[in-house]
């Protein structure tokens, strides 16, 4: 199967680093034009310099700010003539506290970023996609949406909300030929882990490299996931090849939810034990 996104226009939130950056690169390779939104303006400018403004545009965007998010999505039409694909991806790890210790100001921040922004982005995309006769919306959920132990409480609950939102939105928007799906990434070696710990960007990137090494021993695929692994699934869900798929949450996790290799051993690590061992010292 050969994917093609020729003639398609996409918006990617959180598009200057991590999964978002990998997805911007991938979509461009498959022929799409992309508007990337992020808070990391230097990286955004570098993206445009690398690919050219005929293939990618960048906008500073805090996805919790309705005006900025609406402007980002409108930029797809302003820059490239329309919108066919939306990847609601921007996010951070969130607070590590459990129910008893949770600060509800922190709760609100995470829910606004990880869940409300997905609602808003989808709403703002609908009119533009209706003009094009349909479209594809892909939302980043997580394996933590389906089981405990993969990520902190608030993050996990928000990602579960994203998965169910995707199902509900698919049912509502099918009449416009707009498909909506979610992706549940597993352990992807990006700086989100360090960001959760409050580390500066450079240290968070270094931690991602350590996590990549550790992941080889705790999941059947024998390696950490890379941004490209998720990007390829985004490209598939964005393409006509997935035209009969909507309302689904698709797990892309290297088998981590199956259990660690040799999981019958009593000393086998839990899904996040090995990662927490190295992050505790970060």
Residues with a known catalytic role: 155
Query: How do 33-38 and 9-13 pair as beta strands?
Result: parallel
What is the sign, positive or negative, of the torsion defined by CA atoms of 226, 227, 228, 230? positive
| Spatial separation of the C-alpha atoms in residues 185 and 159, rounded to whole Å | 11
Residues near 185 by beta carbon (within 8 Å), at least 6 away in sequence: 19, 140, 141, 142, 143, 225, 229, 230, 252, 253
Is 279 in a helix, a strand, or coil? Answer: helix
Answer for the pair 72, 12: CB distance below 8 angstroms, yes or no.
Answer: no
Is 76 in a helix, a strand, or coil? Answer: helix
| Spatial separation of the C-alpha atoms in residues 121 and 70, rounded to whole Å | 7
Burial 67-106 (b: 16+ CB within 10 A, else e): eebbbbbbbbbebbebbbbbbbbbbebbbbeeeeebeeee
If DSSP states are collapsed to H, E and C, what string results for 98-160? Answer: CCCCCCHHHHHHHHHHHHHHHHHHHHHHHHHHHHCCCEEEEEECCHHHCCCCCCCHHHHHHHH
| Spatial separation of the C-alpha atoms in residues 43 and 16, rounded to whole Å | 6
């Amino acid at each position: 199967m050969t994917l093609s996104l020729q003639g398609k226009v996409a918006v990617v939130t959180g598009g200057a680093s991590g999964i978002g950056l990998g997805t911007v690169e991938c979509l461009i390779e498959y022929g799409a034009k992309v508007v990337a939104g992020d808070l990391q303006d230097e990286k955004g400018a570098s993206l445009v310099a690398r690919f050219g403004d005929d293939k990618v545009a960048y906008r500073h965007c805090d996805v919790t700010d309705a005006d900025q998010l609406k402007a980002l999505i409108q930029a797809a039409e302003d820059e490239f003539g329309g919108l066919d694909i939306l990847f609601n991806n921007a996010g951070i790890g969130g607070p590590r506290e459990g129910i008893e210790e949770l600060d509800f100001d922190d709760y609100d921040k995470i829910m606004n970023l990880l869940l409300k922004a997905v609602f808003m982005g989808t709403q703002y995309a609908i009119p533009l996609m209706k003009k094009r006769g349909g479209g594809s919306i892909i939302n980043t959920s997580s394996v933590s949406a389906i089981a405990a132990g993969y990520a902190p409480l608030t993050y996990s609950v928000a990602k579960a909300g994203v998965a169910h939102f995707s199902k509900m939105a698919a049912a509502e928007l099918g009449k416009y030929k707009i498909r909506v799906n979610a992706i549940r990434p597993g352990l992807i070696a990006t700086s989100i882990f360090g960001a959760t710990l409050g580390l500066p960007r450079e240290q968070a990137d270094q931690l991602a490299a350590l996590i990549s090494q550790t992941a080889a021993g705790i999941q059947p695929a024998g390696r950490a996931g890379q941004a490209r692994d998720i990007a390829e699934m985004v490209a598939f869900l964005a393409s006509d090849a997935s035209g009969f798929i909507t309302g689904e949450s698709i797990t892309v996790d290297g088998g981590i939810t199956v259990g660690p290799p040799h999981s019958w051993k009593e000393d086998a690590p839990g899904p996040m034990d090995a990662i927490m061992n190295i992050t505790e010292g970060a």
